[in-house]
A and B are shown apart, each in its own frame.
Chain A
Amino acid sequence: MTHHRWFTPWLLVAPAAVWLFAFSVWPSINTLVLAFTNARPLGGEHFTGLANFGRALNDDQLADALVNSIVYMLVCLPLLTLLPLLIAILVEKKLPGIMFFRTAFYTPVVASAVVVALIWGWLLDDRGLVNGFAQWLGVIAAPVPFLTDRWLLLFSAISLTVWKGLGYYMIIYLSALGNVRRELHEAAAVDGAGPVRRFWSVTVPGVRNTMLLISVLVSVSALRVFSELYVLSNGTGGPGGRDMSLVMLIQLYSRGFTGHLGYASALSLVLLAVTIGPMLLLLRLNRKAA
């Protein structure tokens, strides 16, 4: 039995439904179509079969980007799964002023990736604070080329991502920690378990599902990295363009009048292919939790 006119629900969902089709469903279909064309910003668009994918197979920059993505993911995964948990434990206690610390730790999340990358770019500059300080201490003789070396640039971007992500995952852990039973901790303490032991035997099992969720989120967002690498390398993708990420390549080919939208769409499908694994895992976890 309904208690409203038949069109009322449709009126209410109409805007969202329009957005769903215009900006989610249709672009998904269109990406699939464009990937098999030579579409350009100006002028014609012809079906070219698998040409874009053939080109992708021989694209050295794409190979570099895939290597970068995997390195990015493998380094971010352990760091961003564990460190935010430790920080969440630090700020879990109901101390006076703890809200200040929570807010402060969340600050890098609120700031734009561009802002954060510009700040780090200055810190890691040849004549920036980090190099200056290390030279003053005498740890290094010449500045470390954080931003101009192929691998150092990648690792600088990774540390920036980790630094910016700490607060975000800390918050998710924080709401999970609330569900870990206090009695378990107390019982373990009575049995003589130290803090380290209690962390591994009580806290970690208690937040296991959240940990899985976070490791999926971290993996997917590592594969999607863009702003950090773009800003730190000033849009160049580092020495020889070898520090491109997948999304940087997509942006590179979709921009401006000389863009190659067909190839950019094919690269988008490559991105989808690498993120789909963790994403499906996430869906399964969600279903279990529900």
Chain B
Amino acid sequence: MTSSGLTRRQLLRTGGVAVAAAGLGPAVLAGCGGSDDAGGTGGPLSFMYWGSAFEKKAIDEMLKKYGKEHDGAKVDPMYVPVSNYPTKVSSLVAANTPPDLAYLGTGQMYDLAQKDLILNLFPYLDKYPELKDRLPSSYFWYGKDKLAANQLAMGVQILYYNTDAFKAAGIDPAPFTADTAWSWDDFVQAADKLTVDQNGKHPSEDGFDSGKVKQFGTIAPIGGAPLYSLLRSNGGDMVNEDGTKFALDSAAAIDVLKKVQDLIYVHRVAPSPAQLGKNAPTTSVQLQTKRVGMIIDGNWTLLDLMESKVPFGVAVLPKFKEPLTMTGGAAGAIFAKTKHPEEAIELYLYYNDPEHVDLFKDGLWAPLQKKYYTDQAEIDKWVLKDKYPANFKTAVVDTTLKNGVTDWGQQIKNADRIHQVLDPALEQISLNKGAPVDIVKALKPKMQALLQGKWPLQEL
């Protein structure tokens, strides 16, 4: 997740231009998005997305390939940095010129869907039966027979590590099957061996200087998908089953929060937010430069890691009680205003299909269809042996279905507002501004007031 101030400023500017240019038609807007086809008149479809530099390249190529395979159909890519993405979407919607297809964060996607701004895919299910063969957890329903979208792709949390750093620290490769997952203590121990200061001392040794750390063991997973995976592993959760009650104050959840906080302030194997810095480098850069030895992050990071030729391994997440990982992903949606709904659905189906699209082989996405996880011949189509790290199948492919729990954000209502009170509280924990138990206690009434239950699920 890159977030640089410069791009932010640029985006403010382009956002402003987009609003000002509201009446001037799609060609102008495509120009703002940095379309490659400067000379083109603007294609029938626009595709808005975020991502790293590698992701931008991969998506642009995918869209070109789609054009070639579809009689020169033209798709305008609109790349927007992730840090300002929702703002840009809002500006475009306010200007009444949304893109045709877009990546959308789930909170924003539901918000737009309930205002009927997202194309309901339900009426198209018969005509396009491929829409039905995704993993059930990947659908976003916003009412009875109202289907807003699927996930863009399957996302799953992985423990990545720099293999050179492991060798240098004398650690065996991290476990790559769910049954052999590290306990939390094993994880902390490995992180201690990986953490060295300028004098070569580890945090558990006398004289360790936490102000001059050369390499950290890990980054404390205080937030987002990594934290949620660990909460669930310990039997905790953010909210109760139907999403109406705050649940982060359970003993199991507090235990996880405390242990994660301890990584920074007790074990000293992870940088504090200040040490990590504003605009911190991405996971792949942290691992490549050996600033950090191992990090829990999403599978999409594989793209950058493989493109940058980082010597890295993949492993299952450390466990508390159950070995598990969180699955989920942002939505890939079609805006209701599109003039070409069927073409948009065809592109939608195209980019979800590993048969056509290299993004799966490149590591950015994991497939949404079950067969790509269960059938070896199908697995071989995307998990390329000479490209993917060893043990990817057991560490990631197998655990996605067998040990995966769905992201609580996938269905929760009012998600964006909830995060506006939840995230500062988690930040307090990461800044050591108090015991997790007290911070969570103060958070409870604020977050409880925002809980409105969950969006429905529906059988296909």
Same complex origin of A and B: no
Name A residues whose Cβ lies closer than 8 Å to a Cβ of B: none
